[in-house]
Homo-oligomer: A and B are copies of this chain.
Amino acid sequence: MAKVTIRQIAERVGYSMPTVSQVLNGNVDLYKEETVKRILSVARTLDYRPNAAARTMISGRSNYIGILTSSNPDKDSIFPRLMAGIQTELQENDLHMSLTHISDKHLSRSAGLPRVVRELSVDSFIVAYMARIPATLVKLINELRTPAIWINSKHHGDCVYADDYAASRTATQQLLALGHRRIAFVNYCSDVSDGRLHYSVIDRHIGYRSAMEAAGLPPRLIGGTGHLPLSERIAFTRAWLELEDRPTAILAHASTAAIAVAYAAAASGLVIPDDFSIATFHDADADDMALCLATMQSPIAELGKAAVAQTLTKLDKPLQGLSPVVLPYLWQTGESLAPPRHC
């Protein structure tokens, strides 16, 4: 019942350890059929499982890729779908995922860093941070001997992220193409004047702005002054929906905002999409959407896959810097778009 080792198998079948080792590793041609058969059979009977640590010591590879994210919920960028994407690619390469949440306290040295960072226990890192990446983290990663890829944030290289700027331009253009002129951008989550925001917040904003300006129209920002509590959103939204010159369409920065707007619109007697069009960004599963809205769907799963791919390249050539990988959003029409009424 104790752990079964190669030595035990060797003793049992009467061969040496290296022989057993070779056979169990599929190096079968070297040996007699009979030998192979007996070894494999005993291994199966004993339910032999290789000791990963021993292999790691020899190869210098743990076969673990470390995912680093923030323990601060609003910086945590570990969407289930992203994880799934990473997993898919990892398993393709028979690799493990080691997941660690790092708190800002960790980084300020008041607490010890987590074990993954202190020890040599993973082959490389994927750093998944949303919003306000602490400078100390950047420093930490750069000083690490272990190669690292940034996911979901912009850097000079060694990173993978989604093209929020293009996505926002495209979404806005879709609304413009329908004939809308009074198109607003709604952001109930972030304070747009905060310089240390996640790039996507900025890029979604300026993507919208640039599309509007290219069309010769004035951009119009609703919200953008920080997190608006759920309990205030509906009243706030209805107030601007009932203005004389209310927008005929909006692009929402996040699906929670979009849904609040949709609900407020319905409560104010506006019919979607006849009276009012809504498009939104969405970072999580399409299935998580409660309403069927026009959506710029983040390529999260693909980001995960791409990050792992970059990681593997980096493991081959640790010294070589990798150019950023930028992936496009996916547009899904939904049922919240129509031309404006008086066109």
CB distance from A291 to the nearest CB of B (A): 6
Q: Is the CB of B98 within 8 A of A71?
A: no
Q: Is the CB of B94 within 8 A of A115?
A: yes
Q: Is the CB of A271 within 8 A of B260?
A: no
Q: Is the CB of A119 within 8 A of B255?
A: no
Q: Is the CB of B101 within 8 A of A99?
A: no
Measured CB to CB, the nearest residue on chain B to A53 is B56
Q: Is A244 an interface residue (CB 8 A)?
A: no
Task: Report Cα–Cα, A267/B145, bound state, in Å.
Answer: 58
Measured CB to CB, the nearest residue on chain B to A101 is B87
Residues of B near A271 (CB, < 8 A) are: 267
> Chain B interface: which of A75-83, A149-157, A172-180?
A75-83
Interchain CB contact (< 8 A) of A292 among B230, B262, B288: B230
Q: Is A54 an interface residue (CB 8 A)?
A: yes
Task: Report Cα–Cα, A63/B73, bound state, in Å.
Answer: 25
- Give the number of times this chain occurs in the complex, counting copies: 2
Task: Report Cα–Cα, A292/B235, bound state, in Å.
Answer: 12
Q: Is A95 an interface residue (CB 8 A)?
A: yes
Q: Is the CB of A50 within 8 A of B87?
A: no
B-facing mask of A117-152, CB < 8 A → 1, else 0?
011110000000000000000000000010000000
Task: Report Cα–Cα, A291/B266, bound state, in Å.
Answer: 13
Task: Report Cα–Cα, A97/B101, bound state, in Å.
Answer: 10
Q: Is the CB of A83 within 8 A of B96?
A: no
Q: Is A29 an interface residue (CB 8 A)?
A: no
Task: Report Cα–Cα, A62/B116, bound state, in Å.
Answer: 12
Q: Could you list some 23 contacts between A and B, CB below 8 A?
A: A52-B115, A52-B119, A53-B62, A54-B57, A57-B57, A63-B115, A64-B98, A71-B84, A71-B88, A73-B81, A76-B84, A78-B83, A83-B101, A84-B101, A87-B101, A91-B100, A94-B115, A230-B290, A234-B291, A255-B290, A256-B290, A263-B263, A266-B267
Residues of A that sit less than 8 Å from B by CB: 1, 3, 49-54, 56-57, 60, 62-64, 67, 71, 73, 76, 78-81, 83-84, 87-88, 91, 94-101, 114-116, 118-121, 145, 230-231, 233-234, 255-260, 262-263, 266-267, 269, 271, 285, 287-292, 335
Closest 9 CB pairs of A and B: A266-B266, A259-B290, A52-B121, A53-B56, A230-B292, A256-B290, A87-B101, A266-B267, A52-B119
Given contacts A3-B120, A56-B56, A257-B290, 13 further A-B contacts (CB under 8 A): A3-B60, A50-B120, A52-B56, A52-B115, A73-B81, A87-B100, A96-B98, A96-B121, A98-B98, A231-B335, A255-B290, A263-B266, A266-B267
